[in-house]
Chain A
Amino acid sequence: DAGVTQSPTHLIKTRGQQVTLRCSPISGHKSVSWYQQVLGQGPQFIFQYYEKEERGRGNFPDRFSARQFPNYSSELNVNALLLGDSALYLCASSLDPRNSPLHFGNGTRLTVT
């Protein structure tokens, strides 16, 4: 069975640009979460979707948005990129956000110059 897949793997953007990151969950998983991880820190929660509804939002500015599609895949959008947005963006899926572990994709490494 395929795991969580994310695309693209790497991305280089310039300040002010916009980026869209994509994620396909494990088949049967209805919850998708997005995390941002910078070097030396644990993953920071950005969004959680369950059954196509936003169930949680972390402490990120409105430049960050996301959505979940009917097939449970998800996109994370970041507008007006800043240098500080450079990070590893991780998508994770789970069966049930209440008690199931997260399964991560390989991540998208975003570099903003």
Chain B
Amino acid sequence: RKEVEQDPGPFNVPEGATVAFNCTYSNSASQSFFWYRQDCRKEPKLLMSVYSSGNEDGRFTAQLNRASQYISLLIRDSKLSDSATYLCVVNESGGSYIPTFGRGTSLIVHP
């Protein structure tokens, strides 16, 4: 079973829509969580960290559900420029702390 799972999509939404992505992880001892954005043929860039109490950055909201072992990313009022692949990252713990990536969810925002 893959350690970090994401629906690859693509999610195809109109401008202004609200879209949510989930990411599940298998290691219950995982300590830290992040969302990254990756544009085509570019490196991943940190979008936001995910805190236990949930956190918001403008149109973006991240949440952590430890009981069900998933993190989520909500994007409100989608813009064309939000089109990208969104990668969740889980820091696996237990001796070493290896950031493990999901395969990414593709988002396409159309006019």
Q: Which residue numbers of A lie inside 8 Å of B, CB to CB?
A: 33, 35, 40-45, 48, 55-56, 58, 88, 90, 92, 97-99, 101-107
**In the bound complex, do residue A48 and residue B98 qualify as a contact, i.e. CB atoms below 8 Å apart?**
yes
Binds A, one of B40-48, B58-66, B67-75: B40-48
B47 to chain A, nearest CB (A): 10
Complex Cα–Cα for A107 and B87 (A): 17
Chain B residues bordering chain A, tally (CB within 8 A): 26
Residue from the list A56, A88, A101, A106 in contact with B98, Cβ < 8 A: A56
A98 to B92, CA, bound (A): 9
What are the residues of chain A within 8 A of B46 when measuring CB–CB? 101-103
Q: Are B44 and A56 in contact (CB-based, < 8 A)?
A: no
> Could you tell me if A101 and B49 are in contact, using CB atoms closer than 8 angstroms?
yes
